[in-house]
């Protein structure tokens, strides 16, 4: 079974600083995808960034970038220039195939708090 | 505005009653999903549907049922067989299975 590990239950970062949220995954699939979602206190999950297992370059979306190290099976999220609105839960998820479809397995999340 | 709606936002039910959670999307997505989230936990997949009139069990389907009679709608019924139904329920959709998933605002179900 797929397993996603987020080892940091909580993180603090100073406003305007960069922060890295860790994610490791355990899969034997050759083709897979990695997603990061943000969940504010309102509860809705917001898609941030995606990395495919065959993508040679790290994905970037605005202030978000994904540090993809395939051999180490890690897909860390880097948020640059943190803002107060970045305070939220962050979830890493892996897309894997099974029974003719694709599914996501989520980690337990990291709670990020941005300090003014 | 395109998106996913879930209603109601908060739902209270007595133990032993079935309850149906609504999920509607106007994104023209083929695939839809139901997840359960417990405090301090990630999301766990309950059921998913790749196309109309088809659905499959996820990791924690026991005590739940779904239907997919229309492309836009994927209601979830929490039955009395679900031993611990109090949780936050999130519905999602994607253009096809495997693409990025878009989520609704969620329904917080409390069983008294």
pLDDT above 90 covers what percent of chain B? 81
pLDDT value at B1 more than 70: no
pLDDT-derived band at A102 (thresholds 50, 70, 90) equals confident
Per the CB < 8 Å rule, is A101 touching B48? yes
pLDDT tens, residue by residue, A57-86: 999 999 999 999 999 999 999 999 999 999
Average pLDDT value for residue range A96-105: 80
pLDDT-derived band at B98 (thresholds 50, 70, 90) equals confident
In degrees and rounded to multiples of 5, residue B59 shows phi and psi of -75, -25
pLDDT tens, residue by residue, A13-59: 999 999 999 999 998 888 899 999 999 999 999 999 999 999 989 99
Per the CB < 8 Å rule, is B40 touching A108? yes
- What does the pLDDT read at residue A53? 93
Per the CB < 8 Å rule, is A106 touching B97? no
Query: Three-class SS string for chain A?
Result: CCEEECCCCEEEEECCCCEEECCEEECCCCCCEEEEEEECCCCCCEEEEEEECCCCCCCEECCEEEEEECCCCEEEEEECCCCHHHCEEEEEEEEEEECCEEEEEECCCEEEEEEC
pLDDT-derived band at B99 (thresholds 50, 70, 90) equals confident
Average pLDDT value for residue range B59-85: 95
- What does the pLDDT read at residue B45? 94
| Test mutation, A98, A104, A105, A106, chain B, max B CBs within 10 A | A104
pLDDT-derived band at A99 (thresholds 50, 70, 90) equals low
Comparing alpha-carbon positions, the chain A residue that sits nearest to B32 is A103
Q: Please report, for residues A95, B45, B79, the alpha-carbon distance to residue A41 in angstroms, rounded to integers and kept in the order given.
A: 25, 21, 28
In degrees and rounded to multiples of 5, residue B16 shows phi and psi of 95, -10
| Test mutation, B46, B59, B100, chain A, max A CBs within 10 A | B100
* Distant-in-sequence, close-in-space partners of A114: CB < 8 Å, separation ≥ 6: A12, A13, A14, A15, A82, A83, A84, A85, A86, A87
- What does the pLDDT read at residue A1? 66
| Least CB–CB distance from A99: residue in B56, B100, B106 | B56
According to DSSP, the residues that pair with A85 across neighbouring strands are none
pLDDT tens, residue by residue, B33-42: 999 999 888 8
Distance, in Å, from the CA atom of A68 to the CA atom of A75, rounded to the nearest integer, reads 5
DSSP secondary structure letters along B57-69: E-TT-TTEEE--S
Whole-number average pLDDT of chain B: 93
Comparing alpha-carbon positions, the chain A residue that sits nearest to B103 is A45
- What does the pLDDT read at residue B101? 93
Residue B102 DSSP one-character state: E
């Amino acid at each position: 079974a797929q397993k996603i590990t987020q080892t940091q239950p909580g993180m603090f970062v100073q406003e305007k600083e960069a922060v890295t949220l860790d994610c490791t995954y355990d899969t034997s699939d050759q083709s897979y995808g990695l997603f990061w979602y943000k969940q504010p206190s309102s509860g809705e999950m917001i898609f941030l960034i995606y990395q495919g297992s065959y993508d040679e370059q790290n994905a970037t979306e605005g202030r978000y970038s994904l540090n993809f190290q395939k051999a180490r099976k890690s897909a860390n999220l880097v948020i640059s220039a943190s803002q107060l609105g970045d305070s939220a839960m962050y979830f890493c998820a892996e897309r894997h195939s099974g029974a003719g479809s694709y599914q996501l397995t989520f980690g337990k999340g990291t709670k990020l708090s941005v300090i003014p | 505005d395109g998106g996913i709606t879930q209603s109601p936002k908060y739902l209270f039910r007595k133990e032993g009653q079935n309850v149906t959670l609504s999920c509607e999307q106007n994104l023209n997505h083929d695939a839809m999903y139901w997840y359960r989230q417990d405090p301090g936990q990630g999301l766990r997949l309950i059921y998913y549907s790749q196309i109309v009139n088809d659905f499959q069990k996820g990791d924690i389907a026991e005590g739940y049922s779904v239907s997919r009679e229309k492309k836009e709608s994927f209601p979830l019924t929490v039955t009395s067989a679900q031993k611990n139904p109090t949780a936050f329920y999130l519905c999602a959709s994607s253009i096809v299975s495997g693409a990025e998933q878009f989520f609704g605002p969620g329904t917080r179900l409390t069983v008294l």
